[in-house]
Amino acid sequence: MLYSWRMNDSVNASELQRLDLLGTVLEGLDQGLVAYDRNLQVIAANARVYEILELPEDVLGVGSSFEDWVRHTATVHEGYVADPGTIEEKIQNRIIIAKSFSPFISDNKINTGKFIETRGKTYNNIYIITYTDVTERKNIEEKLLKSDQELRENEARFRDMATAASDRFWETDAAHRFTYVSDPSGTTLRPEADKLLGKTRWEAAGIDPDEDPTWQEHVDGILKREPFRDFVFPIVTADGRDIFISVNGMPVYDAAGNFSGYRGTATDVTKREELNRLKDEFISTSSHELRTPLTSIRASLGLIVGGAVGDVPEKAMDLIKIAETNSLRLLALVNDILDMEKIEAGQLEYAFEPIDLSDVLPKAIEANEAYGIEFGVDFQLEPIEPNSWVNGDETRLNQVITNLLSNAAKFSDRSGEVKIAVTQMGQHYRLSVSDQGPGIPADFRTQIFEKFTQVDGSNTRRTSGTGLGLSISKAIVEKHDGQIDFESELGKGTTFFIDLPKISPTQ
């Protein structure tokens, strides 16, 4: 039996009957209980009260007074009585409450760290005080309170940072409509935050993605729930100014793994875009101005090397050949820059027609044999099935093939092999160029086709170049409705490949 009652002789039969009934009712409760008569003398106490208050059972038994209980408990467990004032004042205050037989509830903490809920109530002239161990509940409440406080502090911190930042923070729902947009102090970003809520980014920018390929690509990526970085687009402000916004975003999922939207930042990059425009204009102008005299210089040096002006002293010839080589490299750089400019302006011209890769590849390799000789590399063309037809511009495809062959030669060891192959893959032909070079680090995968990217700029003798070739090649291949990519293993080599749609020669 959970309750072990101690009775005193002064309890009459009627009170005893009521007390027994009370004991039966409370038998299944996990509470400590002490019952007092009208004189506040203990007439009954269960065993559980000693466990909860961590008191020995031979202390404060039947017949002891309420004052004995309060004084002893307050002495053993300093701070048990939570009332204000000194210990004696707290004890006397609690006695006054008990003598009035007034109900009370208090939460107290004993020295061992346990929280006790104490309740006093009158029951048929018996004053009953119950003790409940609420430590677990209190600990949970403290943790929740602490978590709530930390959450409020984090929210305040985020609001302050969002207001102070020059960037704008934003959040969208699963339908890609803004649910939160920060409004940084002094921001040049427009429109205002409250005017963006409930709109998609393209609606806020006044764009129909179906009519803008750049936006269509951006929206397609969002619908696939892909992260994005530095998506730049122009908007017109209320005062008629053109500004450029760069946005970054990451998809967000809830605890169950369901897509719930995007979070990201928006930055005014108008100054950056203006500087890029000025830089591009300067490079374009400089390239156009350099192209004609460079072509003339290269041609003149070629005539001298070819003997058109008669014999030249050996030492002078060595210097002339160096000048010719460097003029060729500089002319290649100028041509690449001008091609890149035309690509970005959509002005690079193409003459598409059915071409047979089995005819194009051998001629391209023969035209680039000088690269193999220069770097001591052997170009090996695998047998190609005749009538491997694609729709393309032979000149532009040769430009891509030349870039892949020259890169493979530059990164191969002397006496190495570069293998070229064409294989049919479903409705595409795959043209691959494989070297046995050092391979491409994984962290270069995302930037290898960007402008002015070189895997190893330190090894200038073997890898000199403009850093534009692969970027130009990617643009040309995509114009052919194809794809360019690569596979690489460090220390073993790299295979670049382009996939082009196959056609019948009559198409």
Q: What is the pLDDT of residues 110-154, one digit of tens each?
A: 877 888 888 888 887 888 888 899 888 888 888 888 888 888 877
- State whether the Cα torsion 352-356-361-367 is positive or negative: negative
Assess whether pLDDT exceeds 70 at residue 19. Answer: no
Amino acid at 49: V
Helix (DSSP H) and strand (DSSP E) numbers for the chain: 15, 17
CB burial of 198-216 (b: ≥16 within 10 Å; e: otherwise) equals ebbbbebbebebeeeeebe
pLDDT tens profile 210-219? 888 889 999 9
Closest CA to 196 of 210, 187, 206, 186: 206
State the average pLDDT over residues 252-268: 92
Kindly give, in sequence order, each residue whose CB lies less than 8 Å from that of residue 251, ignoring residues fewer than 6 positions away.
225, 226, 227, 259, 261, 262
Question: Is residue 176 pLDDT above 90, yes or no?
Answer: yes
In the prediction, which pLDDT does 2 show?
34
Residue 91 near residue 73 (C-beta atoms within 8 A): no
pLDDT at 25: 60
Per the CB < 8 A criterion, the answer to whether 64 and 72 are in contact is no
pLDDT at residue 178 in the model: 93
Q: Check residue 17 and give its pLDDT.
A: 67
Average pLDDT, the chain: 82
pLDDT on residue 18: 64
- What the block records as the tokens of 46 is 């269960």
What is the pLDDT, as a whole number, of residue 4? Answer: 42
Give 6's pLDDT tier (boundaries 50, 70, 90).
very low
pLDDT at position 5, please? 45
pLDDT the model gives residue 33: 86
- Radius of gyration in angstroms for the set of CA atoms belonging to the chain, rounded to a whole number: 43
Mean pLDDT for 480-506 is 91
Answer for the pair 217, 223: CB distance below 8 angstroms, yes or no.
no
Highest averaged pLDDT of the listed ranges 38-47, 311-320, 424-433, 447-456? 424-433
- Given a contact cutoff of 8 angstroms between Cβ atoms, the answer to whether 139 and 40 are in contact is no
409 within 8 A of 371, measured Cβ to Cβ? yes
- pLDDT, residue 141, reads 86
Q: Looking at 378-480, list the stretches that DSSP marks H as alpha helix, in order from N- to C-terminal side.
A: 394-410, 460-463, 469-479
Range with the largest mean pLDDT of 24-33, 150-159, 171-180, 465-474: 171-180
Mean of the pLDDT values across residues 245-271? 91
Mean pLDDT across 397-407: 91
Residue 191 confidence class, pLDDT cut points 50, 70, 90: low
Q: Could you give the C-alpha distances from 448 to 185, 469, 470, 499, 502, in angstroms and in order?
A: 38, 10, 7, 18, 27
Taking the alpha carbons of 430, 436, 440, 441 in that order, is the dihedral positive or negative?
positive
pLDDT level of residue 459 (50, 70, 90 thresholds): very low
Chain center to CA of 432: 34
19-28, 156-165, 453-462: which is most confident: 156-165
Which tokens is 501 given? 């749609």
Beta strands at 417-425 and 378-381: parallel, antiparallel or unpaired: parallel
Q: What percent of the chain has pLDDT over 70?
A: 85
* pLDDT of amino acid 104: 83
Q: Residue 422: pLDDT above 50?
A: yes
The average pLDDT across 279-300 equals 75
CB atoms within 10 A of CB 384: 20
d(CA 473, CA 443): 21
Q: What is the mean pLDDT of residues 353-365?
A: 92
Judged against a pLDDT cut of 60, whether residue 187 lies above it is answered with: no
**What is the predicted pLDDT for the residue at 405?**
93
- The span from the CA of 351 to the CA of 363, in Å, is 19
Lowest mean pLDDT among 72-86, 97-111, 264-278: 72-86
pLDDT category, 224, cuts 50, 70, 90? very high
Q: Are 414 and 377 in contact (CB under 8 A)?
A: yes
Q: Domains plus CATH for the chain?
A: 13-133 (3.30.450.20), 165-268 (3.30.450.20), 274-344 (1.10.287.130), 353-501 (3.30.565.10)
CA distance 411 to 260: 46
